[in-house]
A and B are shown apart, each in its own frame.
Chain A
Amino acid sequence: MVLVSWPVARLDRIARLRALASGFQGGALHEAVLDAPFDDAWAWLSDLERTVPDFDEDVARLRIIRREPHPEGGERLRIHTRNTAIVLWMPTVLDAHLASGWCWMATRPLLYVIGMAAEPEGDRTRFAHFEGLAFQAPRLLQPVLRPVLAASRWRHDRHVPRDLAAIERHFRSD
């Protein structure tokens, strides 16, 4: 047998979210550096019931109704939300994978996806947030769906930075 050291590249959580986000033409990903250490920032961000209605103007209430271990680590969650008038008060059911520095959520049925990722950056925290429509247009339907996805992208290019601004304000005020 031969023992050799071999360099291995890693995909950190921010890079993983950037990669996944590139698959959804109807969404937008934005990033910010939060003025808090990773452990503090993620402790707040991962308290979804308290924080999501706080920073997301579309969500009036969020309840976790089921928790179980996720095979990749962390927890698999079932979530109910009640949304605000902006999205017609629609109740929503989501599945989520919540782990340290990572949250990947999708509605049931799978129409909308939300991602959050965090990595330490010195004594601060790099945070990436993605939201958007959770489908890719099949080739034949692309001419029809392209305007829908473009409109969704336009909307999320404004919505996600508002979420980020609210999150940044929280850590500035602490």
Chain B
Amino acid sequence: MLLLVGLHTGAGSGAEGSREPSGPENPPVVIGQPEEQIDPALVRRAQRGDAWSLDALVRALEPYLGRICGAIALQAGDDALQDTMIAIIRNLGSLRDPLAVRGWARRIAVREAVRTARGGRVVPVDPEQLMAQLPASRDDLSGVEVRSVLEQLMPEQRAVLVLRHLDDIGEQEMANLLGVARGTVKSRLSRARAVFREQWSS
């Protein structure tokens, strides 16, 4: 099932006047579909320091990483996205497989967004526990203002939410992304899910 998402500009950039208008009047963006593959030749040229390819790579990654940073870091999303792009460009030489650039960039974005949202501190969490707090299906999102719910969650919880809905990432990959071990506590999962649903619908 497709999830249609209306764009909201991340707050706190200080340069709103120069931007394209955003918000509910913009056409919604379809997510839950495969994103366009980034040309590996472009990535290789960028790795060699080609100025035009670096610019093109940043432009190609921005929409996807902007959704991750915006959903996790909220008001600090713009700062998180800038730090993410800087980390990507500085470390691009260490990327061995250019075809894997999107997943590699996603890992950096999650790390930077959680760090920024926590004011520089990274706190490992149990992704099983966080996954439990998600709605059972995307249908549960109907009619809900996501941002108001996101603001009540911890950054790591927001990371799980956005990764689940952007890429449908599995629990093990989520555990790897967040740098924590995978565990299972069924009773806590169902109780936490119930708590989240109550919060979501309130």
Contact = CB atoms under 8 A, between A and B. Distances in A.
Given A12-B13, A110-B50, A121-B15, A4 B6 contact: yes
Interface magnitude class on chain A: 35 or more
Interface in B1-34: 1-10, 13-15, 17-19, 22, 24, 28
Q: Tell me the dominant secondary structure on chain A's binding face.
A: mixed
A24 interface: yes
Contacts, number: 155
A2 B30 CA distance: 10
A11 interface: yes
Contacts of B144: 4
Interface stretch (A14-22, A61-69, A84-92, A163-171): A14-22
B160 interface: no
A110 B58 contact: no
Contact of A9 (B14, B80, B145): B80
A2 B32 CA distance: 12
A147 B62 CA distance: 33
Given A2-B139, A4-B4, A6-B5, A136 B48 contact: yes
B58 A6 contact: no
Given A20-B54, A72-B59, A113-B51, A8 B13 contact: no
B121 interface: no
A172 interface: no
8 contacts: A1-B4, A3-B4, A4-B146, A8-B9, A10-B9, A10-B81, A110-B51, A119-B15
A8 B86 CA distance: 18
A119 B18 contact: yes
Nearest to B89: A23
